[in-house]
Each structure stands twice: as structure tokens, then as C-alpha cells.
Homo-oligomer: A and B are copies of this chain.
Amino acid sequence: MKIFGDSNSGNCLKVKWVCDHLGLPYGWVEIDTLRGESRTAEFLEINPFGQVPAVDFEDGRTLAQSNAIMRYLARDSDLVPADAFAVARMDAWLFWEQYSHEPYVAVCRFQMVYLGKAAGELDPGLVKRGYAALDQLEQQLSRTRYLLGESFSLADVALLAYTRVAHQGGFDLERHGAVRRWIADGEDVLKLAPVR
């Protein structure tokens, strides 16, 4: 299996972390999206949508969308609950991440880290919605250790991806003590060094 990804992208790292955690072997192909490497004819064969991450199973099958890839790779592991309703709650976090968290927290970080904007140049609407997402996480994580309760799951992997680097997008987690505690716990589970 080959993972095509940008190693500075949270969406791509989700897939890498799941493979590392589960001991799944893979090769990593670095894709520089800013240089158009996700729009070449060769890449579009792997993912017609021109997005990273994408996975090539080298038997003719390919798969895109970080959360769909994680969900497939981890389907029989302890990263996915056994109970169908707990799976549904995990899925709700995964869809919420892509709709209500990533477009704000990750996009602010993208503009600062990739495009070189200063925090003061960010769209205040994006920043406000990013904090709203972080507040939702704080509310849940004040009550439970991980997003689904006592067990670490793909919901945590998905939300950790950009929450742990939110400060690179200008977000100050000072008010978000439970989120900071959860980031440290999640980094322990995934054996990741904290990001400065």
C-alpha cells in the first residue's frame, strides 16, 4: 500500500498515524500540493478528485478521503467501537470534523503556515468559527477522557490532526484546558512528540 500525502497536512497524517498505530506496512509518497503535484495526470489516476491523502493498494484499488481511508484500514481494530451506536457517534464526530472544524481551524493554519499570512490577516469569521469548534471539543472533553468516552477511537485521531497544531493557525488554547489534556493523552497513545 502506498499513501500519497503531504507530511505537513493533518488530513494526511491521520492515515499515517492509523497505519503506524496498527502496524500496517506502507510506503509514503510525498505530494507537494502547492506545486500542483495533486493535479498531474499520474496523480489523478490515483484520485480523480485531485486531493490528498489518497491510497493505492497496488491491486487496482485506490481510495480517497482521510476519514474514509482511516475507517477502512481500522475497521476491525480497537480504534473502532464494537457497538453499532457507538460507531454512529464516532461517525458523527468524523463528519463534524470535516464540516465544522477543518474548514476553520485547518484553513487558518494553512493560510499562516503555507501562505505566510500573519494571524491578524485572517478572516475574523473563520477565526470565530474555529473557536466555536474548539469550544465544542472543550465541552465534550470536560466530561469524558476521549471523544467517545473512556476509549480512544478514530474520532480522536481525526480531531487531533488539526487541533494539536491549532496554535500554528493563531488559535490560543489557554481557555481550553480539557482540550490540552486530551492532546497530550492522544499524543501518548499515538507516540507523537508535541508540536511547538
Interface, chain A (partner B; CB < 8 A): 48-49, 51, 61, 63-69, 71-72, 75, 84-85, 87-89, 91-92, 94-96, 98-100, 102-103, 136, 139
Q: When the two chains form their complex, are residues B91 and A68 in contact, meaning their CB atoms are under 8 A apart?
A: yes
Q: When the two chains form their complex, are residues B63 and A89 in contact, meaning their CB atoms are under 8 A apart?
A: yes
15 A-B pairs besides A63-B88, A72-B85, A75-B84 with CB distance below 8 A are A48-B136, A48-B139, A49-B96, A49-B100, A61-B85, A65-B91, A65-B92, A65-B95, A65-B96, A68-B91, A68-B94, A69-B92, A72-B84, A94-B95, A99-B103
Give complex CA distance A136, B139 in Å. 37
Give complex CA distance A95, B68 in Å. 7
Q: When the two chains form their complex, are residues A88 and B69 in contact, meaning their CB atoms are under 8 A apart?
A: yes
Give complex CA distance A103, B136 in Å. 21
Question: Could you list some 26 contacts between A and B, CB below 8 A?
Answer: A48-B136, A48-B139, A49-B96, A49-B100, A49-B136, A51-B100, A63-B85, A63-B88, A64-B92, A65-B91, A65-B92, A65-B95, A68-B88, A68-B89, A68-B94, A69-B88, A69-B92, A71-B88, A72-B84, A72-B85, A72-B87, A72-B91, A94-B95, A98-B99, A99-B99, A99-B102
